[in-house]
Amino acid sequence: MIFGATGDLAMRKLLPALYHLATRGALSPAMTIVGVGRRPMSDEAYRDKVQADIAAFAGGDVEPGTWAWLAPRVRFAHATLADSESYASLARRLDEVEGTQAGQVGRLFYLATPPSAMPDIVRHLGEHGLVRETGGAWRRVIVEKPFGYDSESAHALTLLLRAHLAERQIYRIDHYLGKETVQNLMAFRFANGIFEPIWNRRYVDHVQITVAETVGVEGRGGYYDGAGALRDMVQNHLFQLLALTAMEPPISFEADAVRDERVKVLHAVHLCDADEVRRRVVRGQYVEGALDGGAPAIPYRQEADVPVASTTETFVAMKLFVENWRWADVPFYLRSGKRLARRMSEIAVQFKCPPFRLFEDTAVASFEPNVLVIRIQPDEGIALRFQAKVPGAEVTLGGVEMDFAYADHFAAAPATGYESLLYDAMCGDPTLFHRADMVEAGWQVVEPILALLRSDPGALLHAYPAFSCGPEAADTLLTREGRAWRPLARG
């Protein structure tokens, strides 16, 4: 049952993802999808809409056989989400759909509504017994981000959810963790023997995690201005990439074993006070700028629904330490922003240079460090950069790459990033979903930044031209330590 079934997320991601799963034969024949919306609509009208959404957003033509299988399984239910009576009618609808199997089949509720609608839905689902697990039938609820606005609101959200649901029923979704490359990070680290021995402070100089977008706020200025890059990207997506990169090997691939290790990483990250925040965090906001001689993008402050004096950041860079035995003193540099020079998400592990300059009497002036780059998007893959001798009589070195691209080895099925997560939720595997303590640990890390911004909303904010690499102050974060961000600009 999808709440917000006529919304952007349902239309562009969820229904295309369910269609992709149907294409692969991954859905149970007994499954029914019930879309819930605020405006009355017949099942037929909703089916037509879903078919059009799939045609527009699933990539490629709608396969007639798959649609013939899926269409009769799609229903619509009208509800006023704040109104208790609506849930009695949803309960009747579900009983009707489940027929003779009522009480024996699993129910997955997807809350694809704005956060403001969530408290009512959760409360009513609880009060009307829709999420009560009886007779062995499971009840699960997928909750969309944002998971709070700061530590306090995140905790309030946890209490709200836990008042009506057990933690094992709550699936806090982060579509970043549905990306194949992100999941492959665990396979890469723990299914290969050669990387783990060097995955520590003895060999790693620093780690860079970048999630860069070329798009601006895309008509969602009202939402974005209340969030900003720190809340929208860093506290959730980038911290999860950090956790997967830095975590200890779990004792098993059981969901909680993996999540225990991920949360430990976040518990080991601290920003002490405002002084430390000022030294280690840079915020940016884009001003006018153009991409490759194209028409200039408007400044953030001129985007629709953004206040003209907004101090919301569209870019953040920060230097963090994971204060544990494995990573002590290894900087983790994180950056994320909108309207940057290139769309690129990657984790780059830069290794220390060799300890001894054996090539002293040759033309080799300096070493380039080895870098292992895990590309999340685009061109998903993994590359290792190392030094090789340039052919010829003189000894000179050149940087070369061993490059694995997913597309070269595995047939990539069309995907929105939600397929594996929806599938996992249906199968009851919460490994890739956030647990309450992970969410709250993420907020704890950024709380000193939020505290500074509460007293000084314009703190740490620098302008950067749209389609650039971000503010210069972000470069300084690394250059003052003799390091540099990996290039973002084209070419």
Ligand X SMILES: NC(=O)c1ccc[n+]([C@@H]2O[C@H](COP(=O)([O-])OP(=O)(O)OC[C@H]3O[C@@H](n4cnc5c(N)ncnc54)[C@H](OP(=O)(O)O)[C@@H]3O)[C@@H](O)[C@H]2O)c1
Give the interface segment with ligand X, choosing from 2-10, 123-131, 311-319, 421-429 (CB under 6 A). 2-10
Nearest distance from C-beta of residue 3 to ligand X, angstroms: 7
305 binds ligand X (CB under 6 A): no
User: Which residue of this chain has its Cβ atom nearest to ligand X in the complex?
Assistant: 7
DSSP state letter for 14: I
Q: How many residues bind ligand X (CB under 6 A)?
A: 19
Active site residue 434: no
Between 106 and 115, CB nearer to ligand X = 115
DSSP β-bridge partners for residue 461: 283
End-to-end CA distance of the chain: give it in Å, rounded. Answer: 46
Distance CA 287, CA 294 (A): 15
Do residues 330 and 353 lie in contact, with contact meaning Cβ atoms separated by under 8 Å? no
Give the active site residue among 20, 124, 175, 237: 237
**Token output for 276:** 């430390």
Question: Which 3 state secondary structure label does DSSP give 324?
Answer: coil
Give the interface segment with ligand X, choosing from 37-45, 303-311, 373-381, 409-417 (CB under 6 A). 37-45
Give the interface segment with ligand X, choosing from 35-43, 183-191, 316-324, 408-416 (CB under 6 A). 35-43
Interface residues for ligand X in 79-108 (CB under 6 A)? 81
Tell me which amino acid residue 65 is. Answer: G
Distance CA 232, CA 174 (A): 11
Q: Which of 6, 151, 181, 345 binds ligand X (CB under 6 A)?
A: 6
Nearest Cα neighbor of 207 from 310, 96, 351 is 351
Give the interface segment with ligand X, choosing from 9-17, 242-250, 355-363, 366-374 (CB under 6 A). 9-17
226 binds ligand X (CB under 6 A): no
428 binds ligand X (CB under 6 A): no
State the helix-helix crossing angle for 84-98 and 118-127, rounded to 10 degrees. 60
Distance CA 401, CA 407 (A): 17
Give the interface segment with ligand X, choosing from 8-16, 90-98, 457-465, 472-480 (CB under 6 A). 8-16
Distance CA 441, CA 217 (A): 27
Interface residues for ligand X in 131-190 (CB under 6 A)? 144-145
Nearest distance from C-beta of residue 409 to ligand X, angstroms: 29
Nearest distance from C-beta of residue 72 to ligand X, angstroms: 23
Q: Which of 25, 29, 39, 491 binds ligand X (CB under 6 A)?
A: 39
38 binds ligand X (CB under 6 A): yes
8 binds ligand X (CB under 6 A): yes
78 binds ligand X (CB under 6 A): no
Residues 6+ apart with CB under 8 A from 344: 210, 212, 375, 377, 378, 488
116 binds ligand X (CB under 6 A): yes
DSSP state letter for 247: P
Q: Which of 94, 112, 217, 432 binds ligand X (CB under 6 A)?
A: 112
Distance CA 281, CA 456 (A): 14
119 binds ligand X (CB under 6 A): no
Nearest distance from C-beta of residue 97 to ligand X, angstroms: 20
227 binds ligand X (CB under 6 A): no
114 binds ligand X (CB under 6 A): yes
Distance CA 471, CA 459 (A): 14
Distance CA 413, CA 109 (A): 26
Between 13 and 262, CB nearer to ligand X = 13
Interface residues for ligand X in 362-421 (CB under 6 A)? none
DSSP state letter for 344: E
Distance CA 374, CA 380 (A): 8
Question: Which 3 state secondary structure label does DSSP give 65?
Answer: helix
Listing from the earlier edge strand, what are the strands of the sheet with 2-3? Answer: 74-78, 33-37, 2-3, 107-111, 139-143, 170-172
Between 176 and 286, CB nearer to ligand X = 176
4 binds ligand X (CB under 6 A): yes
- State the residues that interact with ligand X by CB under 6 A: 4, 6-9, 12-13, 37-39, 81, 112-117, 144-145
Residues annotated as part of the active site: 237
